[in-house]
Structure 1
Amino acid sequence: MPQAGPGVSPAEGVTYVGIDTLQEQTRLKALRRGYTFNLLVVGRSGLGKSTLVNTLFKASVSRRKSGLEEPLPSTTEVKTESSSLNEGGVRLNLTITDTPGFGDHINNENCWEPIVSYIEAQYARYLEEEQKVNRLLHIPDSRIHCCVYFIPPTGHSLSSLDVEVLQRLDKIANVVPVIAKSDTLTLEERVAFKERIRADLSDHGIRVYPLLEYEDSDDAQENSKIRERLPFAVVGSTAWHEVHGKKLLGRRSNWGLVEVENKSHNDFAYMRDMLIRTHMQDLIGSTAERHYENFRRSRLFSKASTKAPIVNGQDSNHMKNLNESKI
């Protein structure tokens, strides 16, 4: 008699095939290969981008020259740092892309162009490898899976620069807006600021992640709660403090300690849960299925249209197809 499979009683063993092991097979294969996640942070200097990223992953994944003042780049630059993190047997190949010089000059005209060019260059690199006759079995993925956009805690509304940049980024990447150093705002100011930003996003047609039109019914409730909290009002810190015998990450001020992971103090835990614990795989998938796919179609259509000569006002490829259909 066939042996009963895992979780199957002897009486049911005769019907056991083993299809239920597919999930475990997939899991083991993914663990051996590891996962890749590419995060882009965009914002002016002094907003704590590196600190927040290091707080997210509890590691020095976004490095700065401690104690040294780096000269301000003449234009926006793009810098990447790659790390390999391991937790519970799961390996994550993480790349953090920063944008020093963004929005830091008197004249910030077109300061977003290096960022947009970088994102599209990663799509182009992937497409080039994908189209090769002898291509790699596993194409290295440098495509940006998420763009965290840092908004200064002014308490007013989005600046014209913020609007300009977000209108370009939301078409090519998953954008998650955050209010940086939100502990500089009172709770009332924070609520009002969030409402103004959400109104600005809606008025200018800026779409941020997670997008309503692409969600499954199973994710609708969870995504709705996330959208209600956007933009995330966050605080980052890599400093540990002891409170009642417990070690806590936080920022100490004259009036007390702002606990980074305390949900009543700021939205860091909500953002961390979304980016890492609940939606990381969806961010990776939506990049491939939507943003990269849109880029791929556009690039291939552009190539096809430039190659096909025009005959009597008609695309020659189109004319050829018509003639073949008549034969």
Structure 2
Amino acid sequence: MVVGESGLGKSTLINTLFNRELYAEKEARNPGDEPASSVRIETVSTDIEENGVKLHLTVVDTPGFGDALNNVDSWRVIVDEINSRFDQYLEAETKINRTNIADNRVHALLYFIEPTGHALKSLDITFMKQVHEKVNLIPVIAKSDTMTEDEVLEFKTRILDDIKNQGINYFVPEQFDNEDDETVSSTEEILSRIPFAIVGSTKELQTEDGRIVRGRSYPWGIVEVDNEDHCDFIKLRQLLIRNFLEDLKEKTSKILYENYRSEKLKRLGIEQDDSVFREFDPVVKQEEERALHEAKLAKMEAEMKSVFQHKVSEREKKLQKSEAELFTRHKEMREKLLKQIKMLEEKKRDLENLRVAPASEPTASQPSKSRKGFLR
């Protein structure tokens, strides 16, 4: 969706972004000729293919915004359109067959700020405060080639200060800890250019050095659309199409739409039970399955540890019993061996005593010498 006052180059920027004439050149209109509350909603859809990647693009234009004398409620038609698209998606979700739900929600809103060089107007602040919680708001400074480089930088600072003071949220891509340094540097470079100072043109011009570029020709030179030194068009295209297309859709689906759906269901008296829808979130489901798997592994590990400790305890008891039996047997055998040694020593002493006895005393078997005499 593109929103901004007439004459700020919304159609030209869209044609420049996708390098095709989605919008034909419009005839100049006098804003005073438009009736009050003349904001309209115009939709253009097309299929874009680049390097084998197909994209179904729908651009929602809001001609007439800010052109009336009284613009107090000029934002209401646009907010109603955003809410209506949320309602269509919510209604599709409640049907029985939800396999092919057409997603017509607004995934990005480019808000064109007039290059006054001063600060945000009350209409700018009012509109952004009405939509910043419903869409991914991306502020851009239209026709930045009407200001000098220093004026652009000063104007950006004033815009960011107003946005911060008013509590307005604009789209900031989510950054992750595991991203490489090149990706982090690229993201920081894109964020540093917000609000994007853009110049739109599909006309091809030849520069003094012979290059063919898209840009605008002035007496003092050519402003190149695809030159980062001249404007922020390249960074805006990277944000919208190349780097964060899925991030825009994911934030719309998981945050902006969910907040709108919850608030609407509460207004209808239906309280949201997150546990009912928790199983449909693949990330939460995966975390639950991982937690269950880890708990199951922890239980199995505890059981195995208990069985192991039980077997070790039984084995220790058997070893202690075997050790006690061996000790008792060893003690008995030692006592028996000591007795045998004692008996052998006693027999040895007896034998030694027997060997000594014949040398000191006569035995009865030896014949006694007879004496000669009358007694013979």
User: Which residue number corresponds to residue 195 of structure 2?
Assistant: 231
- Paired residues, what number? 263
CA–CA distance in structure 2, aligned partners of residues 256 and 179 of structure 1: 21
TM-score normalized with structure 2 length: 0.67
- Extract unaligned runs of 5+ from structure 2: 272-376
Amino acid of the structure 1 residue aligned with 2:69 = I
Mapped pair 1:50 → 2:11 = yes
User: Which residue number corresponds to residue 44 of structure 2?
Assistant: 81
Q: Is the 8 A contact 1:85 1:91 kept in 2?
A: yes
Please report how far the alpha carbon of residue 223 of structure 1 lies from its aligned counterpart in structure 2 after TM superposition: 3.8
Per-residue CA deviation, residues 38-73 of structure 1 (Å, 9 max, x unaligned), is xx0000000000000110000122x13545758636
Per-residue CA deviation, residues 116-162 of structure 1 (Å, 9 max, x unaligned), is 11011101100101111233x12111000000000000000000110
User: Which residue number corresponds to residue 269 of structure 2?
Assistant: 304
User: Which residue number corresponds to residue 227 of structure 2?
Assistant: 262
TM-score normalized with structure 1 length: 0.76
**Which has the larger helix fraction?**
2
Q: Alignment partner for residue 139 of structure 1, among 90, 101, 118? A: 101
Q: Between the two proteins, what is the percent identity of the paired residues?
A: 42
Q: Is the 8 A contact 1:79 1:99 kept in 2?
A: yes
Per-residue CA deviation, residues 223-267 of structure 1 (Å, 9 max, x unaligned), is 433332110001000110122332200010111100001001111
CA–CA distance in structure 2, aligned partners of residues 94 and 73 of structure 1: 31
User: Which residue number corresponds to residue 72 of structure 1?
Assistant: 34
Please report how far the alpha carbon of residue 295 of structure 1 lies from its aligned counterpart in structure 2 after TM superposition: 1.0
Please report how far the alpha carbon of residue 268 of structure 1 lies from its aligned counterpart in structure 2 after TM superposition: 0.7
CA–CA distance in structure 2, aligned partners of residues 156 and 291 of structure 1: 31
CA–CA distance in structure 1, aligned partners of residues 20 and 25 of structure 2: 16
Q: Is the 8 A contact 1:74 1:101 kept in 2?
A: no
**Which has the larger strand fraction?**
1
Superposition RMSD on alpha carbons, in Å? 1.8
Per-residue CA deviation, residues 196-231 of structure 1 (Å, 9 max, x unaligned), is 0010011000111116xx543337654433332110
CA–CA distance in structure 2, aligned partners of residues 105 and 170 of structure 1: 23
Q: Alignment partner for residue 245 of structure 1, among 210, 217, 225? A: 210
User: Which residue number corresponds to residue 191 of structure 1?
Assistant: 153
Q: 1:54 to 1:65 in 2, by over 3 A?
A: closer
Tell me: higher relative CO, structure 1 or 2? Use CA pairs within 8 A at least 6 residues apart.
1
Q: 1:300 to 1:268 in 2, by over 3 A?
A: same
Q: 1:117 to 1:94 in 2, by over 3 A?
A: same
